[in-house]
Chains A and B, each alone.
Chain A
Amino acid sequence: MTGPRVGLLCLGPMEPLRRPLSPCSSRPSSPRSPPCETSVSVGIEAVLDQLKIKAMKMGFEFNIMVVGQSGLGKSTMVNTLFKSKVWKSSLPGLATPTPQTLQLHSVTHVIEEKGVKLKLTVTDTPGFGDQINNDKCWDPILGYINEQYERYLQEEILITRQRHIPDTRVHCCVYFVPPTGHCLRPLDIEFLQRLCRTVNVVPVIARADSLTIEEREAFRSRKCFDEDINDRILNSKIRERIPFAVVGADREHLVNGRCVLGRKTKWGIVEVENMAHCEFPLLRDLLIRSHLQDLKDITHNVHYENYRVVRLNESHLLPRGPGWVNLAPASTQQLTTPAPLKVRRRVQEDPKDEF
């Protein structure tokens, strides 16, 4: 199920795989030279290669949800993260009007890099926090997340299960906080408190090119995040910098002879991948390069298990007997799915997207 981490093959620095220390410790052991004292190497290292090959054949799945008010650059951010036109982002004032109720909109792409396939599903939530009365605007989102857990649960308790259960559970929810420069708004706090128990939440400061470095630090120090949210993220160095101040861009500009993604204003060009300008590289590393598998593992081992325990307890049933046991349909009390829940799913198979 969850073997040793095999991250998406990528250009960034990878964590070195652990090698057995050679008994002749004066010499550093190189990957290929056998240890001094044993004459025959068992070849355990090859197991990792097998896993890698299998994983590459199977491909990876990743489901990400972006939540935030309209205009905070969610679509652009997703495009920038995966360096492909996952969404067609729109300039303000163009055709997309803000919807009256919260809708959930999913798009699936298969992107490929160096032979590794990633089936990426992005769920957008247009209409979040845009109305005058935003009370309970998080309910449809919670409902959707629980619905995915329910689907997986139903598949899991079948007698004859599929070999590979399609995983539509949300692995990560990126929450976009507007760059007010003061502190979190009541809406942000309500949402984060409710959702951090159900799903991995990564808060980011959106459109951070309107905050200077000092303002960002002040904002970070004034946040009132519970440690709960941050416990999920393993790397403490990254944890300190949460929420990341990010900027997204899908246009390239020439800076010092290099072609970089950025936003061009009259007083300079904001480079998205420049750590001095914004913390987008940290977000990308967290989500893709180093912690993608962690996010999936935590979703499976922690959040999904919590959900499962609650559901099994409330239906007082365990799978037994010849026919498969149909769990009682979820009571409306547990899953908050109010009537106007709209989920549109479009599956687009793009065999090859250039990077």
Chain B
Amino acid sequence: MDKEYVGFAALPNQLHRKSVKKGFDFTLMVAGESGLGKSTLINSLFLTNLYEDRQVPEASARLTQTLTIERRGVEIEEGGIKVKLTLVDTPGFGDSVDCSDCWLPVVHFIEEQFEQYLRDESGLNRKNIQDSRVHCCLYFISPFGRGLRPLDVAFLRAVHEKVNIIPVIGKADALMPKETQALKQKIREQLKEEEINIYQFPECDSDEDEDFKRQDAEMKGSIPFAVVGSCEVVRDGGTRPVRGRRYSWGTVEVENPHHCDFLNLRRMLVQTHLQDLKEVTHDLLYEGYRARCLQSLARPGARDRASRSKLSRQSATEIPLPMLPLAETEKLIREKDEELRRMQEMLEKMQAQMQQSQAQGEQSDAL
């Protein structure tokens, strides 16, 4: 019997051990208008208080606020497995009276991370590549609107080819069940109409059991997820304590699947599809960016090599030469421009001074 047993059935265990030792890292972005419960949801999802030091700006300060990108990191450990979670927040999105192009800083940020990775990957020392690419973007849709607003569509259009998007309806306890269904339906239709590619769940294998398939189908059917977040534990008399929001007319339970889709979202994001999100980011989105980037740098030889290397990823021998990354040449050009401008200004000043002293000299002559 020992002859027929090679022993590679134990490979998954090796993988498991190595992963546990290495730990996981995951970058999650949350975007959406303010007041949709983003911070509360993140705290509920990961059972931490990532937003302890946050100060909500006063109304008068908001008048001049622009979009900023904030990064917060936290290490979560559970069952011996460490996850280094980086959260990217976009305060100020959609807040001003004129929100034209307010998504550009976000797009720029995402591309910057790709660019950083591209540079690291093409560099000489590749031992410690930090992966700061955004693996997933939770986009919060308002429950009060009639589906996606023009701003939502514009943002999703700008980022859907660059990051995995999971649309989420925030503060879903404002909606009655029928309204939730109608809103979800409308959003799905709009996404299809506008041809926005949200993150697609992979199909489950045919040999999975019925229960899993049913759960999977149910999860896919409830996108966009209608979620409620809460960090407070409500103790309702005789019943067990639950996380929820207490109203005068009842208590919403965050982890009750009849009340909201929070459990589905958590299961999907953390328990079942975290690795898949990272893989899609790397294999699909990053590769797309890389191909576009290399093609645009476009020396004819480089273009051929780039396209060939994209098709045959296996033949790693054909590595394109590490060309000077785009950003650095641009930076140099910009610096030179600045210098030129400064010199021009100085020249003008000197000329003006000379003219002044000439004029003064003439005056004193006349006197």
B153 to chain A, nearest CB (A): 9
Residue of B nearest to A73 (CB): B144
With A132-B151, A184-B59: A92-B247 Cβ-Cβ less than 8 Å: no
A276 at interface by CB-CB < 8 Å: yes
Residue of A nearest to B102 (CB): A132
| Complex: A71 Cα to B36 Cα, angstroms | 15
B21 to chain A, nearest CB (A): 42
CB <8 Å contact, A209 and B174: yes
| Complex: A224 Cα to B58 Cα, angstroms | 9
Q: Mark B43-79, 1 if CB is under 8 A from A, else 0.
A: 0000000000000101110110000000000000000
Q: Out of A130, A210, A267, which one reaches B250, CB within 8 Å?
A: A267
Q: Out of B98, B99, B145, B173, which one reaches A71, CB within 8 Å?
A: B145
With A92-B182, A133-B100, A266-B259: A210-B173 Cβ-Cβ less than 8 Å: yes
Residues of chain B lying within 8 A (CB to CB) of residue A207: 144, 174
Residues of chain B lying within 8 A (CB to CB) of residue A263: 176
CB <8 Å contact, A93 and B185: yes
Looking at chain B, what size class is its interface with the partner chain?
35 or more
| Complex: A269 Cα to B36 Cα, angstroms | 22
Q: Mark A179-207, 1 if CB is under 8 A from B, else 0.
A: 11111111101100000000000000011
CB <8 Å contact, B250 and A268: yes
Residues of chain B lying within 8 A (CB to CB) of residue A346: none
Residues of chain A lying within 8 A (CB to CB) of residue B174: 179, 207, 209-210
Residues of chain A lying within 8 A (CB to CB) of residue B251: 267-268
B245 at interface by CB-CB < 8 Å: yes
CB <8 Å contact, A270 and B249: yes
| Complex: A264 Cα to B245 Cα, angstroms | 16
With A93-B182, A265-B176: A186-B63 Cβ-Cβ less than 8 Å: yes
Q: Mark B78-117, 1 if CB is under 8 A from A, else 0.
A: 0000000000000000011111100000000000000000
CB <8 Å contact, A180 and B258: no
Considering only residues 134-183 of chain A, those with a C-beta below 8 Å from chain B are 134-135, 178-183
A84 at interface by CB-CB < 8 Å: no
CB <8 Å contact, B144 and A213: no
A301 at interface by CB-CB < 8 Å: no
With A135-B97, A182-B34, A265-B176: A69-B144 Cβ-Cβ less than 8 Å: yes
Residues of chain B lying within 8 A (CB to CB) of residue A223: 59
Considering only residues 68-94 of chain A, those with a C-beta below 8 Å from chain B are 69-73, 91-94
With A69-B144, A70-B145, A133-B100: A267-B259 Cβ-Cβ less than 8 Å: yes
Residues of chain B lying within 8 A (CB to CB) of residue A183: 56, 58-59, 62
Residues of chain A lying within 8 A (CB to CB) of residue B185: 93
CB <8 Å contact, A130 and B249: no
B179 at interface by CB-CB < 8 Å: yes
A268 to chain B, nearest CB (A): 2
A257 to chain B, nearest CB (A): 17
A222 at interface by CB-CB < 8 Å: yes
Q: Out of B63, B150, B175, B249, which one reaches A132, CB within 8 Å?
A: B150
A96 at interface by CB-CB < 8 Å: yes
A235 at interface by CB-CB < 8 Å: no
B364 at interface by CB-CB < 8 Å: no
Considering only residues 150-198 of chain B, those with a C-beta below 8 Å from chain A are 150-151, 154, 171, 173-179, 182-183, 185-186
A131 at interface by CB-CB < 8 Å: yes
Residue of A nearest to B250 (CB): A268
B40 to chain A, nearest CB (A): 9
A-B CB contact pairs (8 Å), 23 listed: A91-B182, A92-B179, A92-B186, A93-B147, A98-B146, A130-B150, A131-B150, A132-B99, A133-B97, A178-B144, A179-B144, A182-B35, A182-B56, A183-B56, A186-B96, A187-B97, A212-B247, A213-B248, A266-B258, A268-B249, A269-B249, A269-B250, A277-B248
Q: A98-B149, A179-B144, A213-B247 are in contact. List 5 more A-B contacts (CB 8 A).
A: A183-B58, A187-B97, A212-B247, A223-B59, A265-B250
